[in-house]
């Protein structure tokens, strides 16, 4: 179960996530001590709770780092079943258990509360990666690719939307489309699906009362300055008054009863006021660097399931960070999404750190360099004949004189867009790495003629 591979993980990514987590603890305390005192708690009340969840996240990161990535593929179906049960539980349990912060999205047991929608993000990545990697060239078919994918996404998004959580549904849609695209789906299918999903999102935003109010506030927040526009206006005040260098750590004024949720959804505005433009740009570049490292891991992964895991996790964390920063900067309508690793929020912090651990485990199995060319003899025609064995593929007496590998299905080589069977003299580029600009073509092996094999190389002795 545990990964015994001794290869080192991506240390720059690990250092970045550790730095963001520590920075988040500092900013949570800086933005929440006044609110904690006003609520009758100690000044470090929210810091202690965040520290506890950070410790849980460290344990999750170590588990994700130690468990080999392909183990999650075997747990894809149980994970999806358990996640759907949790989403159903949120809808059927009483509000005393599910309601927190004005939203029915939680399952609370005493002082501990978890948000099933955070678990859904990781579960969706694992399930889609496991499901898509067996489709091969059939993924471009509408009946085999697009239609089942739409049903899977529709069920999950529908259950999340029933919790009145449109922002999480949008993030799940982006995760699903990213993994679907990376798997080699038809671009026309992705385009049509994106247009339909965007149209449905527009309808849901403009026809539901509270979402339509948020959209009106986004267009003119000063028109609703004492109501829905109060938080966006003061978030922009905080960003504007920070200047280039900021007021100084702990010196924010907007967090003193002016900015709602300064330690959670609006923590990026506190960073802008206390650390200025330098702080906000630093956070932005930190997540851009995280995106670079994550997509680099995906591009160099030697296993297609690992590549899809890396693509899904990276797109999840980076897109959620973009949504939080865009909301504070009044680029998109207000929505409640935490800033990964930085905002106050136990479920979000723990799941992001656990997902990072899985991404680090994938980084231990990347292909850093192509294999060196090796001289091989000219293959005999019969060496290419591979007879598929439908039953008992491991029994030696059924192999005959052919000692090469055999398979009992069409999955001879995992290629998400097409299946390529390389010859002995040439190694083909993996089809599932087409989307990556960093994919490198493996050099062709030199073919040694029969007449000169004995005098130019010692391949027979090596083999």
Q: Which two tokens stand for residue 105?
A: 């999205």
Instruction: For residues 366 and 62, give the distance between their C-alpha atoms in angstroms, rounded to a whole number.
Output: 19
- The length of the chain in residues reads 463
What pLDDT shows up at residue 295?
A: 95
Q: What is the pTM of this model?
A: 0.78
Domain ranges of the chain: 11-363, 375-463
Q: 306 near 127, Cβ under 8 Å? A: no
What pLDDT shows up at residue 288?
A: 97
What pLDDT shows up at residue 103?
A: 66
Q: 433 near 299, Cβ under 8 Å? A: yes
Q: 281 near 271, Cβ under 8 Å? A: no
What pLDDT shows up at residue 436?
A: 43
What pLDDT shows up at residue 360?
A: 95
What pLDDT shows up at residue 430?
A: 44
Task: Return the residue matching tokens 């004189």.
Answer: 401
What pLDDT shows up at residue 324?
A: 93
What pLDDT shows up at residue 427?
A: 39
β-pairing verdict for 376-377 and 447-448: parallel
Count of Cβ atoms closer than 10 Å to residue 195 Cβ: 10
Task: Return the residue matching tokens 């904690």.
Answer: 36
Ranges of the chain whose pLDDT falls below 70 = 1, 4-6, 101-104, 136, 367-463
What pLDDT shows up at residue 349?
A: 94
What pLDDT shows up at residue 6?
A: 63
Instruction: Return all residues near 446 (Cβ < 8 A) that are at least 6 apart.
Output: 373, 374, 375, 376
What pLDDT shows up at residue 421?
A: 44
Q: Which of these, 172, 167, 151, lies nearest to 204 by C-alpha position?
A: 167
Eight-class DSSP state of 449: P
Q: 90 near 116, Cβ under 8 Å? A: yes
User: What are 48-54's contacts with CB under 8 Å, separation 24+?
Assistant: 49/344, 49/346, 50/24, 50/25, 50/344, 50/346, 50/349, 51/25, 52/346, 53/345, 53/346, 53/347, 53/349, 53/350, 54/21, 54/25, 54/349, 54/353
What pLDDT shows up at residue 355?
A: 96
Radius of gyration of the chain (CA): 26
């Amino acid at each position: 179960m545990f990964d015994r591979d001794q290869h080192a993980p991506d240390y720059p990514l690990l250092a970045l996530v550790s730095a963001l987590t520590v920075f988040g603890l500092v900013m949570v305390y800086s933005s929440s001590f006044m609110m904690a005192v006003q609520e009758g708690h100690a000044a470090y009340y929210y810091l202690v709770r965040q520290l506890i969840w950070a410790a849980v996240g460290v344990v999750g990161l170590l588990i994700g780092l130690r468990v080999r990535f392909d183990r999650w593929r075997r747990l894809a179906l149980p994970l999806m079943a358990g996640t759907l049960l949790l989403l159903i539980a949120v809808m059927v349990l009483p509000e005393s258990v599910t309601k927190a912060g004005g939203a029915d999205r939680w399952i609370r047991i005493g002082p501990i509360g978890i948000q099933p929608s955070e678990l859904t993000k990781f579960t969706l990545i694992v399930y889609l990666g496991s499901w898509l990697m067996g489709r091969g060239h059939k993924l471009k078919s509408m009946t085999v690719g697009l239609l089942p994918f739409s049903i899977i996404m529709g069920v999950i998004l529908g259950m999340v939307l029933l919790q009145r959580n449109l922002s999480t549904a949008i993030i799940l849609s982006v995760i699903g489309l990213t993994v679907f695209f990376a798997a080699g789906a038809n671009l026309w299918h992705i385009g049509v699906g994106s247009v339909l999903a965007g149209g449905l999102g527009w309808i849901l935003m403009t026809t539901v009362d509270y979402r339509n109010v948020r959209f009106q506030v986004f267009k003119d927040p000063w028109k609703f300055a004492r109501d829905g526009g109060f938080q966006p206006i003061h978030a922009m005040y905080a960003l504007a008054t920070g200047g280039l260098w900021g007021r100084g750590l702990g010196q924010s004024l907007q967090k003193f009863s002016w900015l709602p949720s300064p330690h959670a959804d609006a923590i990026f505005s506190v960073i802008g006021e206390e650390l200025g433009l330098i702080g906000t740009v630093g956070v932005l570049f930190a997540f851009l660097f995280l995106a670079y490292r994550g997509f680099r891991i995906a591009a160099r992964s030697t296993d297609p399931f690992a590549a899809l895991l890396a693509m899904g996790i990276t797109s999840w964390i980076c897109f959620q960070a973009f949504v939080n920063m865009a909301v504070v900067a009044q680029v998109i309508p207000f929505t409640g999404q935490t800033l990964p690793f930085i905002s106050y929020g136990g479920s979000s912090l723990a799941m992001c750190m656990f997902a990072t651990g899985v991404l680090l485990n994938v980084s231990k199995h990347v292909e850093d360099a192509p294999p060196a060319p090796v001289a091989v003899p000219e293959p005999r025609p019969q060496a290419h004949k591979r007879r598929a064995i439908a039953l008992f593929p491991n029994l030696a007496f059924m192999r005959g004189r052919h000692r090469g590998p055999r398979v009992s299905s069409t999955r001879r080589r995992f290629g998400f867009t097409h299946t390529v069977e390389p010859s002995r003299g040439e190694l083909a580029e993996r089809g599932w790495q087409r989307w990556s600009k960093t994919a490198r073509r493996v050099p062709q092996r030199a073919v040694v003629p029969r007449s000169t094999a004995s005098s130019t190389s010692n391949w027979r002795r090596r083999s």
